[in-house]
Amino acid sequence: MRKLGRIKSLLFVCFANICRSPMAEGLAKKILDNKVKIESAGLIAVIKSTAKEAVEVLQNLYGIDISNHCPRSVSDLDLNRFDLIIGLDSVVSSNLHIGYPHLSDKILLWEIEDPYGKDNKAYRETAEKIQVHIKKYLT
| Tens-digit pLDDT profile for residues 20-76 | 999 999 999 999 987 899 999 999 988 888 999 999 999 999 999 999 999 999 999
Kindly tell me if the per-residue pLDDT of 3 is higher than 70. no
pLDDT given at position 52: 95
CATH homologous superfamily for 9-138?
Response regulator (3.40.50.2300)
Confidence of residue 5 (pLDDT cuts 50, 70, 90): low
The rounded percent of the chain whose pLDDT value lies above 70 is: 96
Given the residues 2, 19, 20, 89, select the one marked as catalytic: 20
0.75 exceeded by pTM: yes
19 catalytic per annotation: no
The rounded percent of the chain whose pLDDT value lies above 90 is: 87
pLDDT given at position 120: 93
Kindly tell me if the per-residue pLDDT of 2 is higher than 60. no
Kindly tell me if the per-residue pLDDT of 9 is higher than 70. yes
Determine whether 62 is exposed, middle or buried from the number of CB atoms within 10 Å of its CB (0-12, 13-18, 19+): middle
Given the residues 6, 14, 70, 124, select the one marked as catalytic: 14
14 catalytic per annotation: yes
72 catalytic per annotation: no
The edge-to-edge listing of strands for the beta sheet with 9-14 is: 37-42, 9-14, 84-87, 107-109
SS3 5: coil
Q: How far is CA 65 from CA 16, 61, 79, 97, 112, in A?
A: 19, 11, 25, 31, 21
